[in-house]
Structure formats: C-alpha cells, structure tokens
Amino acid sequence: MKNKNKNFDSKERATNIQTKGNNAKSLNKVNNGVFVFTKSLTVGELAKELNVNASDIIKKLFLQKKLVTINQYLDDDTIGELCLEFGYDFKKEEIINAEDFEKATIEDKEEDLEERPPVVTVMGHVDHGKTTLIDAIRNSNLVAAEVGGISQEIGAYQKTINGHKITFIDTPGHEAFSAMRSRGASVTDIVVLIVAADDGVMPQTIEAIDHAKAANAPIIVAINKMDVPGANPDRVLNQLLEHNIVTESYGGDVLSVEISAKKKQGIDELLDAILLQAEMLELKANPKRYAIGTVLEAELDKGEGPKATLLVQNGTLFNGDYVVVGTTYGKIRRMTNEYRQIMKEALPGTPCSVIGLSEVPLAGDRFMAFPTEKDAKDIAEKRRLKKVNEERAQNNGVTSLDDLYSKINEGQLTQINIVLKTDSTGSAEAVKASLEKLNNDQVKVNVIRSAAGAITESDILLASASGAIIYGFNVRPSAIIRKKAEEEKIEIRLHRIIYALIEEMQDAIKGKMKKEQVENVLGQAEVRNVFKVSKVGAIAGCMVIDGLIRNTSSCRVLRDGAIIYEGRIDSLKRFKDDAKEVKQGFECGIKIENFNDVHEGDIIEAYEKVEKE
C-alpha cells in the first residue's frame, strides 16, 4: 500500500482516545436536540447544560415526590426523564479511560481512510507446508531454522505482488500451538488453509477452520504437495465438505488453488486469489492517527533486550513513538522489517519488530501509541496496578518427577504445580496450554508461573514455596541457579522440542517413567577472554566456575541464559598443555568444534548423556 497523504507530520496525528486517565473531563453537550452526557450530573450542572433554571428542575422532581438540592447528583434515569420534560432526547456515552484502550471504538472520517494491505494468515496441520509456502513466496529458507522440523513461533512477513503489498502471518501447526493459531486468526483478514494433497484433512486442519470461522475471515484453500505420489485433491475437497467448506468447483464461494510449495508451482495463482479476495473486502485504515495494533510475538533478545513483533492495524507507528502494550511501555528505539532493515514508519497492515520496551510484553496483547512519554508511562502504571495477577502458592505439589507417581497412588497428590520459563511469550503460551490439557481425574496440572526469560532465583523461590517443578523450554539455568535449585531440592527439567516436554509430563502422570538418555551437566566455564588464532579459530580463555570440563564432553554455549550453539569440545588446554579435564576454580582454554562466534561473558556448559529411569 502506498500512503497517498504523506504530507502530515508525525506529531499531528489524531489520538485514538480523546480522554486520558481517571481525570477525564465530561464531554456533555447538546447536539441536534439530543443531550449527550458521559457521567452523573448535579441539578445545577444539568440546568446549565439544558439552559433552564435549577429551580424548575427542583420543582418538577418535587411534584414526583423527590426532594433534591441544587448540588445533589442525579442518576441516569432521572436525567433522561428531565431531558424529555424539557424537550430534549438523551443519550449516555461511556468515557473510555486511556488505560482501557482495548475497549475504545475508533471512528475515522471517510476522507481519511486509505487502502491497506490484507493480512493473510497461513494455517493448517503440522508438516503440511505452511512455512515452505512462505519460503516459496519470499524466496527464503525459514524452514532450515526450525527446531525439530516444526514452527514454534508466529512469523510475520510482507511481500509486494503486482504493486500491491500483502502481509503474511505463518502460524505453527502442532496441536500444542492452538492459542497461537487463534491469535493469528484474530488479527487476520484472509485465511489461507493449507492442506497436503497426500494427507488430507487432519485434526489441526479442522481446528484452523474453526479459528477462521470464529474470526469471520474468508478462507482460501491451498492444496499443497501436488508433486508427491498419492496426491488426491478431490479427496481433500470432499473432506472439506464435511466441515462446510464448499469450494467453487463444488458450487460454493470458497476459492481453492492446487500448489506445490516445494516446486514453487501454482504460487502465482494463489497470490492472484488473495488479491482478488482482498479487493472484494475493500480493506481500509487511517494512517493519520497514532498506531494501534496487536503483539504477534515477543521475546527477551540476547543482545537487545525486550523485543516484540507488532502488527499495526490502524494508524502509523513511527520510530521514536511512545507505546503502551499490556502493562509495559517504552519508546521505539529501533524498528525493523523481516529482513532486519531499519524502518522509519509502519503503516496500517504492516508487521514490524521493535526494541525499546521496558519489559517483554505478552503475545496477543494490544498496543497503542501515545503523544508523550508521560502519557505512556502513567497509563502503563495504571494498567499494572489494575491487573490482577496473584500467584497462589500451595504446598501439596511435588519437587521431582521421580516421586510423582507414588504420591498419586497414595492419594497424597491432587495438583502438580509447574513454573514454566521459555525463550518467547508465544512458546510460554503454547506450552502452558498443552500442560493444562493433561488434567485427569486424579491430578490437575497447574502452571503457577509462565514467562519468557532465563530461569532465575525468583523462580526457584516460587517453586520451593509451592512444591513446583521448573520446566525450561529453550532456556538454561546458570551454575548459581542450578546450585540454588539443588539446595532447595527443586527439579529443573529442560527441553527444546515441545512435544517431547508434553510426552514426558504425560508419561509421568500415568506412571510410565522409562529408561531414557538424559543429560548430566558436568560443569560450566565463563569466557573471560577470546583469542583469535589463524588456521585454528577462536580460543575461549575461561574460568571454570562450576563442576568440571572434560575434553571429550558435549557442550553448549549460553548467552544471557539462552542457548546459541550446541556441539562438542574440540580441545581443552591448561596453559599450553592438553588437559583431560579442568576443575572448578582453574583457568583453561577451550576450542569448540565448528564454532568461532564466542564472546566474553558467554557460558560454556559441558554435559554428557547418561541412562536414567
């Protein structure tokens, strides 16, 4: 979308809410014979607004056997009756305080509205080719970066097709990510339902249909994998009929396109269908107001701090704007697109990645830009005070999976408390929802804390107070935190694949603990210096701060608690001599196999695999 009216200054944008805070002034007024009021009024105030004598109001109420004084407040019904008595119609309008901006209804003048890009969400079952389709459209390779071969976060991308921009949202297909798919559907204009021609309609396909219908978004069916043996598009269309998805070939109004995302076949036809559907929807927004939109994803970035992917739904977001999202606020210090290119502004329908927020917001939260930092800070603080987020600590939980089954059998356990820390808020939301679905007649899974970021001492203390197990998803505890957990006898379970985490808890609840390969952390070394050696690479000068480091160990590199690399130790030295192992309190040089991007302050964690019941 091209912004036709770029001759407005960012400071001249219309605010989305005219009144701010609890001190909002009354907007009472008479308009075309209708008295519009926003709050309770005294007799004197109503008389002034209706241009009548206060004594006349008091007299009329006296005849109704109501004794009032000039400074007495009137209820809404009485105000309405008096308006009719004096020849006015009436209307009560509620003032929306700025801290409740989610409830605000924004009305734009027709002349301010401009065409905006359609927001297209790609939805479907796991491994049906959603991300591969996005790759085919963007000529990228997002699939290669996926852990375990599945998308675990929402991605937002924009592409210009025949002079028209289209915003794409890629949602995960695994059943654990239902909440993320729901969030994707809630902000979308059009849903591309991708179904594998060889696999047909599957459980998450049906769920995606339900989300699209709930969002009242039109569906375009993309029948993928037409290049594979066993492709049967007619079977897919017949299966869709069972869920009231009637395509044009069957006399319905749902567009369908046969594609092969891998071979890049049928992509142009699909894009044409999207543009046709967008033209029918006549999507418009007002770029000349402060931005309002939704957080698609958020995380604590290793180097940049709180980072969020925003979708601007109305207005224009400028670099340097002050925004409130959830209970946090901040100034947009940098705004980039999906290619990490700097953006000065984000128009309606545009996704962007921003840094500058004071905390990591929750995915799915609404955000709004405000004129000044004081506005944003005051509103965020009011929202924080208003939010009810009590963490109930109960002492009937377990502290490890080992004693879980025995306590269930003995009737001692009715609830498993879990503290969950993940690499992003979207992952936290998905894992939490999946864990809470494991409830049965004997036991309830209660996630008492779910947040993005490294495992901290606060998490250990909460787990200790509530008898909880800590689960880390794509995050690692430091040596200090691990020792604290051992002191408090708190078990920390770590995973990188969501379905492995869910299956482990499911088996534990059912008492099906079996032998498996688990990690035994040997120790951690802190990188104090980095030496670049030609033909060798980066040598990390380290101090072993916990346990020991062996020259044959597997290892991972941690930066701000998050894993940035996993591999093996290539060589271990004490001064110039090779060493088999180096214990806590001693210095050493570590060369990691096929990895040279080590920084000062990184933690190198050595571990080995052992078999455990």
Among 250, 282, 314, the domain boundary falls at 282
pLDDT of 279:
92
Q: Positive or negative, the Cα torsion across 170, 173, 174, 178?
A: positive
Q: Which CATH number does the domain housing residue 197 bear?
A: 3.40.50.300
H/E stretch holding 433 reads helix 425-436
Same-domain pairing of 135 and 266: yes
pLDDT of 589:
93
Examine the pLDDT at 546 and tell me if it is beyond 50.
yes
pLDDT of 177:
33
593 occurs within a structural domain:
yes
Same-domain pairing of 141 and 278: yes
Same-domain pairing of 266 and 144: yes
101 occurs within a structural domain:
no
Same-domain pairing of 355 and 315: yes
Per-residue H/E/C for 470-528:
EEEECECCCHHHHHHHHHCCCCEEEECCHHHHHHHHHHHHHCCCCCEEEEEEEEEEEEE
Find out whether 169 and 122 touch, Cβ atoms under 8 Å.
yes
Q: How many separate domains does the chain show? A: 5
- Is the pLDDT higher at 508 or at 565? 565
The whole-number average pLDDT for the span 229-239 is 92
Same-domain pairing of 145 and 209: yes
Same-domain pairing of 218 and 302: no
Q: Which CATH number does the domain housing residue 414 bear?
A: 3.40.50.10050
pLDDT of 142:
45
12 occurs within a structural domain:
no
Flag the least confident range among 151-155, 503-507, 543-547, 576-580. 151-155
Same-domain pairing of 139 and 263: yes
105 occurs within a structural domain:
no
Same-domain pairing of 420 and 476: yes
Digit-coded pLDDT (tens) for 158-181? 888 888 999 988 765 334 334 444
Percent of the chain with pLDDT over 70: 80
Same-domain pairing of 256 and 297: no
Among 386, 418, 453, the domain boundary falls at 386
Q: Which CATH number does the domain housing residue 313 bear?
A: 2.40.30.10
Examine the pLDDT at 247 and tell me if it is beyond 80.
yes
Same-domain pairing of 78 and 143: no
394 occurs within a structural domain:
no
Same-domain pairing of 153 and 184: yes
Examine the pLDDT at 444 and tell me if it is beyond 80.
no
- Give the SS3 label for residue 89: strand
Examine the pLDDT at 382 and tell me if it is beyond 90.
no
Give the Cα separation of 15 and 315 in Å (integer).
Answer: 9
Same-domain pairing of 327 and 247: no
127 occurs within a structural domain:
yes
Residue (of 161, 116, 106) closest to 139 by Cα position: 161
112 occurs within a structural domain:
no
Domain that holds residue 424: 404-513
Q: Positive or negative, the Cα torsion across 431, 502, 130, 238?
A: negative
226 φ/ψ angles, rounded to the nearest 5 degrees: -70, -10
Confidence band, pLDDT 50/70/90 cuts, at residue 157: confident
